[in-house]
Structure 1
Amino acid sequence: MSLISSVDFLKHGVNTIRHFGFKSVDELKNDPLCRECKKRVDDKTSAVDKRVDGLHGMLTGGAATYFGSRLNAIEGPVLFYTTETVPRTGDAALSLHIFGVEKSIAEALLIQTMRALANESGFPNHSVRINSLGDDDSVARYTRELTNYLRKRADVLPPAARELMKEHAFSALMHLIERDDELARKSPNSLEYLSDPSRKHFREIIEYLDMSQTPYEIDSSLIGHHQCYSDALFAFDLFDEESNKLKEQPLYIRGGRYGTFVKRMSGLTVPAVSAVAVLRDKKAPTHLPKMKIPTPSVFVVQLGFGPKIKSLLLINELREAGIPVFQNLTSDSLSGQLLEAAERNTRFALIVGQKEFIDDSVILRDLHAQSQESVPISGIVRRLQRVL
Structure 2
Amino acid sequence: MIQLKHTRHQSTSALIERAIRTAEYYGFTSLETSLARGKSALPPQKLDTMLIARRDEKPLLQSAKLCLSTHRQVGEIPLLWRVVKNQSGTREPLASVTLELHVVGAPAAIAEALLITVVNAIAEEAGIGNRSLAINSIGSLESSNRFVRDVGHFLRKHIDSITPTLRPRAVQDPLGTLIQLFEKGHPAMPRAPQSVEYLTEEERRRFWDLLEYLEMSGIPYELQAGVLGSRDFWAHTLFEVATTDEETGSRIAFASGGRYDPLASRIMGTPSTAAVATITCEVRGKSAIPPIRKIIPALYFAHLGAEARRRALPILETLRREGIAVEQSLMYERLQEQMERAKGMKVSHLLIMGHKEAMEGTVLVREVATNSQEAISIPDLPSYLRRQKVRI
Identify if the C-alpha distance between structure 1 residues 56 and 207 changes in structure 2 by more than 3 Å, giving closer, same or farther. closer
Residue of structure 2 in register with 1:259 after alignment: 261
Higher mean alpha-carbon deviation, 178-187 vs 258-267, is at 258-267
Kindly tell me the number of residue pairs found equivalent between the two proteins: 378
- Separation in 2 of the partners of 1:309 and 1:290? 33
Specify the code of the residue in structure 1 equivalent to 2:159. A
Residue of structure 1 in register with 2:18 after alignment: 12
For the residue of structure 1 that corresponds to 2:284, the secondary structure is strand
Q: Is the Cα–Cα contact under 8 Å of residues 134 and 241 in structure 2 kept in the other structure? A: yes
Cα deviation code 1:44-94 (max 9, x no counterpart): 446x969655226443433111244x3365532121000111222331220
Residue of structure 2 in register with 1:313 after alignment: 314
Q: Is 1:247–2:250 an aligned residue pair?
A: yes
Give the one of 203, 216, 219 matched to 2:221.
216
Q: Is 1:148–2:153 an aligned residue pair?
A: yes
Identify if the C-alpha distance between structure 1 residues 231 and 15 changes in structure 2 by more than 3 Å, giving closer, same or farther. same
Cα deviation code 1:283-330 (max 9, x no counterpart): 772x32222211100001112232112111111111111111111001
Q: Is the Cα–Cα contact under 8 Å of residues 43 and 267 in structure 2 kept in the other structure? A: no
Higher mean alpha-carbon deviation, 113-122 vs 218-227, is at 218-227
- Separation in 2 of the partners of 1:371 and 1:187? 59
Identify if the C-alpha distance between structure 1 residues 12 and 224 changes in structure 2 by more than 3 Å, giving closer, same or farther. same
Structure 1 position 359, deviation (Å):
0.7
Structure 1 position 140, deviation (Å):
1.2
- Separation in 2 of the partners of 1:72 and 1:135? 27
Identify if the C-alpha distance between structure 1 residues 50 and 176 changes in structure 2 by more than 3 Å, giving closer, same or farther. closer
TM-score by length of 1: 0.90
- Separation in 2 of the partners of 1:253 and 1:8? 18
Specify the code of the residue in structure 2 equivalent to 1:138. S
Residue of structure 1 in register with 2:370 after alignment: 369
Q: Is 1:66–2:67 an aligned residue pair?
A: yes
Cα deviation code 1:124-171 (max 9, x no counterpart): 431210001111111011112222222233344432342112222112
Give the one of 168, 186, 190 matched to 1:185.
190
Q: Is the Cα–Cα contact under 8 Å of residues 302 and 352 in structure 1 kept in the other structure? A: yes
Residue of structure 1 in register with 2:336 after alignment: 335
Q: Is the Cα–Cα contact under 8 Å of residues 80 and 96 in structure 1 kept in the other structure? A: yes
Higher mean alpha-carbon deviation, 141-150 vs 292-301, is at 141-150
Structure 1 position 228, deviation (Å):
2.1
Structure 1 position 384, deviation (Å):
1.0
Give the one of 117, 124, 131 matched to 2:122.
117
For the residue of structure 2 that corresponds to 1:213, the secondary structure is coil
Residue of structure 1 in register with 2:91 after alignment: none
Residue of structure 2 in register with 1:78 after alignment: 78
- Separation in 2 of the partners of 1:308 and 1:159? 50
Specify the code of the residue in structure 2 equivalent to 1:177. F
For the residue of structure 2 that corresponds to 1:220, the secondary structure is coil
What are structure 1's unaligned runs of at least 5 residues? none
Q: Is the Cα–Cα contact under 8 Å of residues 301 and 326 in structure 2 kept in the other structure? A: yes
Q: Is 1:359–2:360 an aligned residue pair?
A: yes
Residue of structure 2 in register with 1:92 after alignment: 97
Structure 1 position 372, deviation (Å):
0.7
Structure 1 position 24, deviation (Å):
0.8
Structure 1 vs Structure 2: percent identity of aligned residues?
A: 26
- Separation in 2 of the partners of 1:11 and 1:113? 14
Q: Is the Cα–Cα contact under 8 Å of residues 92 and 284 in structure 1 kept in the other structure? A: no
For the residue of structure 1 that corresponds to 2:172, the secondary structure is coil
Higher mean alpha-carbon deviation, 128-137 vs 167-176, is at 167-176
Specify the code of the residue in structure 1 equivalent to 2:17. K
Cα deviation code 1:100-128 (max 9, x no counterpart): 11100000000000011101112143121
Q: Is 1:131–2:136 an aligned residue pair?
A: yes
Specify the code of the residue in structure 1 equivalent to 2:85. T
For the residue of structure 2 that corresponds to 1:96, the secondary structure is strand
- Separation in 2 of the partners of 1:372 and 1:289? 40
Residue of structure 1 in register with 2:345 after alignment: 344
Identify if the C-alpha distance between structure 1 residues 50 and 301 changes in structure 2 by more than 3 Å, giving closer, same or farther. farther
- Separation in 2 of the partners of 1:335 and 1:225? 38
- Separation in 1 of the partners of 2:28 and 2:51? 22
Cα deviation code 1:179-217 (max 9, x no counterpart): 211222211111110022221111111111211121210
For the residue of structure 1 that corresponds to 2:188, the secondary structure is helix
